[in-house]
Amino acid sequence: MLLQLNNIFKWVNSGGQRIFLLKDINLEVQEGEFISVMGPSGSGKSTLLNVIGMLDGFEEGEYHFLDESVHNLREKHRANLYKEYIGFVFQQYHLLDDLTVQENLEMPLLYKKLKGAERKAKVADMLDRFNIVGKKDLFPAQLSGGQQQLVGIARALISNPKLILADEPTGNLNSKQGEEIMDLFKQLNEEGVTIIQVTHSEKNAAYGSRIINLLDGRMI
């Protein structure tokens, strides 16, 4: 078992009223799964993803990731945990504009304090694997959306995460580019990476092994 959410509640207080973002979420994810989270706008998909990614907290409930109880962890340990095991892919790619492709890929390794030679090897490996060696010295603005997302995924993968969290990874791409990205996800999943993606599209959801539907913060 990779992670387990038990009775997760998340809310905000607005005008004296408690507005629930997540309500009693129970979820168990095994290693090697490919889960698609679906639901209308505002149903809490992204919130759920952020909670799983430990970017966001929650008010009630238990969250176990591997052997750790995330709800009891301090901020610093939590950060160490997701740094080690989780990779993020965003709809807006979120590449750093000031850095080249190569440097963008290298950055997570820098934060993990890997040695120079090791970093170079891994970056080269990744560029190779995604067929973007020729683009390594370009800046994100010089790439198409699909290429940027490719770099985004490569960056998420570079530190060998156990889990990839993707928030509408194809949302800003045209259908052909989107298909390519989804194929890539499927391939990664087959290589053993656990993936949780948020998506609006039935077609993309079908790539996954399991679909979770959310409505008003509840799983249905």
Q: Check residue 68 for interaction with other proteins (CB under 8 A).
A: no
CB of 202 to other proteins, least distance (A): 27
Give, to the nearest 10 degrees, the angle between helix 101-111 and helix 145-157: 20
43 forms beta bridges with none
Residues 131-190 contacting other proteins, CB under 8 A = 155, 159
- Residue 105 sits at the vertex; the CA angle it makes with 99 and 111, to the nearest 5 degrees, is 95
Q: Check residue 58 for interaction with other proteins (CB under 8 A).
A: no
Q: Check residue 96 for interaction with other proteins (CB under 8 A).
A: yes
Q: Which residue of 2, 4, 33, 55 would you call a contact of other proteins, by CB under 8 A?
A: 55
Q: Which is nearer to other proteins, 114 or 215 (CB)?
A: 114
- Residue 219 sits at the vertex; the CA angle it makes with 186 and 42, to the nearest 5 degrees, is 85
User: Strand 86-89 and strand 163-167: pairing?
Assistant: parallel
Q: Check residue 98 for interaction with other proteins (CB under 8 A).
A: yes
Interacting span for other proteins (CB under 8 A) from 16-24, 51-59, 169-177, 184-192: 51-59
Q: Is the dihedral of CA 196, 216, 178, 50 positive or negative?
A: negative
- Residue 125 sits at the vertex; the CA angle it makes with 114 and 120, to the nearest 5 degrees, is 35
Q: Which residue of 2, 27, 73, 99 would you call a contact of other proteins, by CB under 8 A?
A: 99
Interacting span for other proteins (CB under 8 A) from 28-36, 47-55, 58-66, 201-209: 47-55
Q: Judging by beta carbons within 10 Å of its beta carbon (0-12, 13-18, 19+), is residue 56 exposed, middle or buried? A: middle
CB of 76 to other proteins, least distance (A): 8
Q: Site residues (CB under 8 A) for other proteins?
A: 50, 53, 55-56, 76, 79, 82-83, 88, 90, 94-99, 103, 106-108, 110-113, 155, 159
